């Protein structure tokens, strides 16, 4: 009796195995095709490459004419026709725990800093839905970035999502580093997506430093990694941020860069035969952007404040990625090449930048002071050409006179050294002094540290 049953079990096991194992039949560019296994889109599969590194992790990206299309999270060196493809039965999950703090992870959430494994029984799905809209707390509190131009002129709320738009080399990464070191958020999650490998070490060692690293988790998928890794690195980072948000914490998600994420999506879209739309971007880019960006923000437990960098070529804000992102986020910070060239750092162009929630998270006197300073700056900008050529005569326009008188104080307020931290109360006191106002204590005490 027993032997009879055994035989059936054995047969059943074999059938399962056959079902969940396939074989590579074609490799073209970044796309791998296999006959079998039975798997769903998004499922993680293991490709066994005895003549390569042993195992390559890949994901099902398409199912077409009985063929499974896969893309790898890592280099596909050594892959051959006939290699076994084994379905895992699960989509990409990230092992999460508090032990992630201070660690550097790859696209799949595996440690890549050589500091040992992180074993955690708890897995978060890399691809997840945003919290339901009605469960999201309203954003009422400020978060400090330690950067005067932001905390003073472009106040951000806990759970707000802002874009940092700039051309190349204008100071996006440096600014993110300053925020990571100085913010009063509980935890930083830093996503370095598609950055040059050399810059990653620079960022960790110089921009972040040891004390910044200790309260950060870094997810790195450098520019030379396959597009799927760059794409999933973004999701993995977001999942890690979600884990800390679920602990009731205020998380700072620093994401560099959304443009490289979008380009990875474009590479994948084109490889699986999607039609290119605007500037070669395929429909999946426009589809994936809100899915990524809506996951940050508040939930019913904690918050993820997001700063996302966007590369704008030739300062073209209507470029498809910039345009799409701007419509989703709650504000944009624009870095100006002119300011950077004048060594005005951080090169934030206050007048063209906007934080949509600033009025909601600031008190009335603070708002008034900010409005007044913005007007002084606008008046100065309008008259700047005249002033520079000496064509403006003092006394001819009181508003411009005032703008000129306050000019230096405003510049000193906005310019800040990379290693200089400004607390929220220092920032607001200076802001108020420039505007000849006094922010009442009860208003100041609303803004933690
Ligand atoms: N706050 C700052 N103070 C002084 N110099 C700065 C500052 N920010 C940026 N720089 C200068 O600008 C250079 C480029 O900065 P950064 O790498 O942050 O720019 P980026 O916008 O991230 O560039 P990329 O587009 O290449 O990623 C730095 O190497 C530095 O020389
Ligand atoms: Mg950079």
365-446: CATH number: 1.20.1270.330
- 9 C-alpha to center of ligand 2: Å? 57
* DSSP summary character for residue 100: G
- Tell me how far apart the alpha carbons of residues 341 and 23 are, in angstroms, rounded to a whole number: 56
Pairing mode, strands 84-91 and 43-49: antiparallel
- 345 C-alpha to center of ligand 1: Å? 9
- 383 C-alpha to center of ligand 1: Å? 29
Query: Which of 164, 166, 171, 203 is the pocket-test mutation for ligand 1 (most atoms within 8 Å of CB)?
Result: 171
- Tell me how far apart the alpha carbons of residues 235 and 229 are, in angstroms, rounded to a whole number: 10
What's the average pLDDT block by block, 10 residues per block, for the chain (449 residues)? 64 63 94 93 95 93 92 93 95 95 95 90 94 90 96 96 95 93 95 88 87 93 94 97 97 96 94 87 91 96 97 82 93 95 97 94 94 96 88 87 94 96 92 93 77
Outline where DSSP puts E strands in 109-249. Answer: 123-125, 142-143, 156-157, 161-166, 187-193, 216-221
18-91: CATH number: 2.40.10.170
Q: What is the pLDDT at residue 20?
A: 86
Q: Dihedrals φ, ψ of 65, to 5°?
A: 50, 45
User: Of all atoms in ligand 1, which is nearest to the CA of residue 195?
Assistant: 27
User: Of all atoms in ligand 1, which is nearest to the CA of residue 176?
Assistant: 18
Q: Dihedrals φ, ψ of 225, to 5°?
A: -85, 160
Residue nearest to atom 2 of ligand 1 (CA): 345
User: Of all atoms in ligand 1, which is nearest to the CA of residue 207?
Assistant: 18
- Per-residue burial over 351-361, b = 16 or more CB atoms within 10 Å of its CB, e = otherwise: eebebebbebb
Residue nearest to atom 8 of ligand 1 (CA): 171
Beta bridge partners of 46: 57, 86
Pairing mode, strands 104-105 and 93-95: unpaired
Q: Look up residue 51 and give its two tokens.
A: 């003549």
- 228 C-alpha to center of ligand 1: Å? 27
The segment(s) of the chain belonging to CATH 1.20.1270.330 are 365-446
The segment(s) of the chain belonging to CATH 2.40.10.170 are 18-91
Contact 236, 109 (CB under 8 A): yes
Q: 68 CB contacts (<8 Å, ≥6 apart)? A: 22, 33, 34, 35, 36, 37, 39, 45, 60, 62, 85
Name residues contacting ligand 1 (CB within 6 A).
166, 168-174, 311, 345-346, 418
Residue nearest to atom 30 of ligand 1 (CA): 171
- Tell me how far apart the alpha carbons of residues 235 and 169 are, in angstroms, rounded to a whole number: 25
- 249 C-alpha to center of ligand 2: Å? 27
Pick the CATH number of 94-356 from 3.40.50.12240, 3.60.40.10, 1.10.3720.10, 3.40.50.620: 3.40.50.12240
Q: Pick left, alpha or beta for residue 144 (phi over 0 → left; psi -120 to 50 → alpha; otherwise beta).
A: beta
Q: 145 CB contacts (<8 Å, ≥6 apart)? A: 151, 156, 178, 179, 182, 183
Angstrom CA distances, 325 to 194, 215, 258, 434, stand at 18, 28, 8, 34
> Which ligand has an atom closest to residue 169 CA?
1
- 446 C-alpha to center of ligand 2: Å? 33
- Tell me how far apart the alpha carbons of residues 341 and 348 are, in angstroms, rounded to a whole number: 12
Q: What is the pLDDT at residue 12?
A: 60
Q: Which of 357, 373, 355 is nearest to 431 (CA)?
A: 373
> Which ligand has an atom closest to residue 337 CA?
1
Query: Which of 168, 174, 259, 338 is the pocket-test mutation for ligand 1 (most atoms within 8 Å of CB)?
Result: 174
Residue nearest to atom 28 of ligand 1 (CA): 171
- 145 C-alpha to center of ligand 1: Å? 18
Q: What is the pLDDT at residue 441?
A: 86
If DSSP codes are grouped into helix, strand and coil, which group holds residue 168?
Answer: coil
Angstrom CA distances, 411 to 374, 380, 428, 439, stand at 12, 12, 15, 21
Residue nearest to atom 16 of ligand 1 (CA): 171
- Tell me how far apart the alpha carbons of residues 24 and 37 are, in angstroms, rounded to a whole number: 10
- 418 C-alpha to center of ligand 1: Å? 10
């Amino acid at each position: 009796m027993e032997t009879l049953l055994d035989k059936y079990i054995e047969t059943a096991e074999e059938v399962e195995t056959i079902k969940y194992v396939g074989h590579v039949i074609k490799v073209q560019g970044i796309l791998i095709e296999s006959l079998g296994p039975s798997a769903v889109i998004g499922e993680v599969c293991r490709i066994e490459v005895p003549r390569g590194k042993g195992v390559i992790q890949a994901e099902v990206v398409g199912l077409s004419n009985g063929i499974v299309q896969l893309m790898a999270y890592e280099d596909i060196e050594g892959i051959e026709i006939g290699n076994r493809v084994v379905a895992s039965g699960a989509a990409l999950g990230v092992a999460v725990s508090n032990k992630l703090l201070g660690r550097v992870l790859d696209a799949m959430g595996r440690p890549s800093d050589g500091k040992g494994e992180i074993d955690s029984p708890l897995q978060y799905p890399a691809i997840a839905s945003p919290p339901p809209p009605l469960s999201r707390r309203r954003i009422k509190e400020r978060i400090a970035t330690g950067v005067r131009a932001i905390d003073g002129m472009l106040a951000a709320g806990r759970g707000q999502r802002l874009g940092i738009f700039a051309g190349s080399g204008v100071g996006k990464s440096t600014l993110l580093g300053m925020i990571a070191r100085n913010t009063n958020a509980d935890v930083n999650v830093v996503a370095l997506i598609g950055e040059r490998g050399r810059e990653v070490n620079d960022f960790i060692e110089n921009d972040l430093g040891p004390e910044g690293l200790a309260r950060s988790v870094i997810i790195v998928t450098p520019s030379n990694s396959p597009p799927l890794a760059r794409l999933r690195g973004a999701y993995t980072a977001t999942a890690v941020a979600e884990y800390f948000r679920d602990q009731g914490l205020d998380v700072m998600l620093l994401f560099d860069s959304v443009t490289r994420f979008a380009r990875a999506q474009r590479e994948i879209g084109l490889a699986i035969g999607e039609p290119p739309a605007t500037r070669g971007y395929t429909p999946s880019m426009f589809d994936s952007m809100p899915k990524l960006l809506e996951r940050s923000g508040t939930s019913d437990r904690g918050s993820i404040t997001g700063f996302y960098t966007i590369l704008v070529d030739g300062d073209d804000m209507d470029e498809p990625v910039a345009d799409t992102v701007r419509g989703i986020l709650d504000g944009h910070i624009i870095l100006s090449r002119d300011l950077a060239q004048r060594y005005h750092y951080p090169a934030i162009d206050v007048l063209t930048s906007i934080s949509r929630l600033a009025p909601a998270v600031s008190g009335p006197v603070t708002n008034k002071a900010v409005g007044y300073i913005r007007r002084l700056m606008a008046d100065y900008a309008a008259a700047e050409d005249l002033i520079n050529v000496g064509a403006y005569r003092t006394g001819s326009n009181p508003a411009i006179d005032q703008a000129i008188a306050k000019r230096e104080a405003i510049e000193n307020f906005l310019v800040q050294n990379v290693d200089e931290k400004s607390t929220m109360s220092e920032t607001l006191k200076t802001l108020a002094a420039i505007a000849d106002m006094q922010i009442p204590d009860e208003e100041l005490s609303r803004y933690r540290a």
